[in-house]
Chains A and B, each alone.
Chain A
Amino acid sequence: MYDFTFEITYDAGADEYVDLFIDRESLRSEALFSCFDPTELWALESVTGDPTDLAAVDELLLDEAVDRESISARACNSTRTASLLTEEQRRRVAYTYISDVDFCESVPLIAAKYVDGGMLLEQTRTDDRVRWRVLVQDDSKIGHLYDTLSAKLGEGLSFSFKHLTEVDHWESGLLSRADIRAEQRETLNVAVERGYFETPREVTLDELADELELPRSTVSYRLRRATAELATRFAEQQL
């Protein structure tokens, strides 16, 4: 499998949806797209951020009239349906389905004209940048795709190629897992449940140790290892 990664940078005012991310530093979006031919498209987008910033996203995320897909000055001529799958204090997950496409100059649908048999795409939005990772089985059409995509960009958008490589690792927020040892997971779960991470703490390390019937130093060590592992993994995903 090949990974064709590029970035599109937006000037402020060029795209209503990207403007939200430019104006609100806490916002970050990760999305997965699937597309088999140039007539329909599925997207699962997870947006995280501060609650007040997320409130600003809500309106656009589900507004079926808002074109978050087109990269050209020409809006998509297609049918869009959107639904909210997750609504948490710091996270939204929206599902969007684009169908009946007459034309839609979005990255996945342009790519589907060139790549036969479908592909997966990952998209990350922060600030003024949208990073695309196109995953294809065969890289023979990537040169065409590069030339075509870069020429479609509307006013205020600029294109920057990052890499074309065989896929050798995966750091996706949507497909990540909390990859920590079972005993660390158990300790962490009990700590969260008892309010160890609340401010102020609702339980002490000694009380946790008693409950888990473990030495205090073991509980302390497992919590530190678990949080270190998760924090590192979280930071890597922001790259």
Chain B
Amino acid sequence: MTGENPPENGTRTDPDASAETEYPTDVLVSPNWVDARLDRFATAEPDLRLLEVDVNTAFYDTGHVPGAAGVDWQTDLRSADSHDILGADEMASFLGARGITEETTVVVYGDNSNWFATHLYWQLTYYGHPDVRIMDGGREYWMDYDYPTTTEPVDPPTVEYEGTFGPPAKPEVRAHREDVRDALDTETVFIDVRLPEEFRGDITKPPGSNEGAMRGGHLPGARNVFWAENVRPDGRFKSVDELRDVYESHGITPDDDVIVYCRIGERSSVTWFVLQELLGYERVRNYDGSWTEWGNMIGVPIEIDE
């Protein structure tokens, strides 16, 4: 691990210290952990980098964690020549442009309890960047509890990312439409993390958005576990026991083969992160095509029910 852990300065009182160290810091770090390293994210040394990626891309310019570079998911995280996540070479140049080498500890956070932060985390896991972590609570927790912020732009020096991402190191964290089709009528558990009204098919896209599907409903046999059930009211992840209860109450256990999905694969990344990284489920795949793909495809079954 390249991001060694200097002692925290201990000046901030956390409103609820119970969640401080429950999860391993090589996947999830607390705001205090980040706060104690603020002077190290934007230096010439590429050991530590901090990225903010928000659903609402307007947030970054209104204030962000000092040292955090902004990532625009609409322009930075979409492949230039296909309707897809970044390609292997695109990912390497995306990281290099933010001063990230294969040795860098990358900490990611964002709005809506880390929707797109976990999506980027999932992409980096898929491609095989060795050390990526989420800041618990994301942007809102940081702002709500008055941690330091700045509006100064952050632009770390560009470096060459020496690692190679082709082929992806962990293809097993991603489900393609063929994988989903193959998993129909098997033991595989589908978790639909959207709102009940999206799951039922009452609405096919959020109001005011054009990111939708022709048909409403869900994958046959899918269970509806809303993504927000993963987080506390303050936006941080629930405790291990609480999270286990959430999934076990839906009959989903650590040895299940699980595919998660939502509308465009970002909310489901939160659930993927929880199951795979926080609870240690054995096999969890994120179907990033999600409902915008399945709900628009010809010749695939869907289910509409309560």
Contacts and interface: CB of A to CB of B under 8 A. Distances in A.
A151 B112 contact: yes
B56 A146 contact: no
B227 interface: yes
A160 B56 contact: no
B208 A72 contact: no
Contacts of A140: 208
A139 B208 contact: yes
A141 interface: yes
Interface residues of B, number: 28
Contacts of B202: 161
Contact of A159 (B144, B197, B234): B197
B86 interface: no
A113 B56 CA distance: 10
A102 interface: yes
A160 B195 CA distance: 10
B197 A160 contact: yes
Contacts of B55: 144, 147
A178 to B, nearest CB: 34
A161 B146 contact: no
A141 B195 contact: no
B262 to A, nearest CB: 10
A77 B205 CA distance: 33
Contacts of A172: none
Interface string A125-168: 00000000000000111111011101111100011110110000
B112 A4 contact: no
A88 B203 CA distance: 43
B167 interface: no
Contacts, number: 64
A143 B207 contact: yes
Given A102-B144, A151-B112, A151-B227, A161 B207 contact: yes
Interface in A152-196: 152-154, 158-161, 163-164
A150 B35 CA distance: 30
Interface in A52-92: 72-74, 77
A102 B197 contact: no
Given A74-B234, A142-B208, A150 B195 contact: yes
B206 interface: yes
A17 interface: no
Contacts of A72: 233
Interface size class of A (residues with CB under 8 A): 20 to 34
Contact of A146 (B113, B206, B226): B206
Interface string A93-133: 00000000011010000000110100000000000000000
Given A103-B144, A151-B228, A154-B233, A143 B195 contact: no
Contact of B233 (A73, A113, A164): A73
B207 A4 contact: yes
Given A73-B233, A74-B234, A161-B197, A148 B209 contact: no
Contacts of B208: 4, 139-143, 146, 164
Q: Is the interface of B mostly helix, strand, loop or mixed?
A: loop
A143 B206 contact: yes
Contact of A144 (B56, B113, B197, B228): B56
A152 to B, nearest CB: 8
Contacts of A114: 56
Nearest to B195: A150
A149 to B, nearest CB: 10
A151 B206 contact: no
**Most A C-beta atoms less than 10 A away, residue of B146, B209, B267:** B209
B215 to A, nearest CB: 18
Nearest to B115: A147
Contacts of B145: 102
Interface string B67-86: 00000000000000000000
Nearest to B141: A103
A21 to B, nearest CB: 23
A27 B227 CA distance: 35
A161 B203 contact: yes
Contacts of A146: 206-208
Interface of A: 4, 72-74, 77, 102-103, 105, 113-114, 116, 139-144, 146-148, 150-154, 158-161, 163-164
22 contacts: A72-B233, A73-B233, A74-B234, A102-B144, A103-B140, A103-B144, A113-B59, A139-B207, A142-B206, A142-B208, A143-B208, A143-B209, A147-B112, A151-B113, A151-B226, A151-B228, A152-B228, A153-B228, A159-B195, A161-B203, A164-B207, A164-B208
Given A144-B55, A151-B112, 12 more contacts: A102-B144, A103-B144, A116-B58, A140-B208, A141-B56, A143-B208, A146-B207, A147-B206, A152-B228, A153-B228, A159-B197, A161-B203
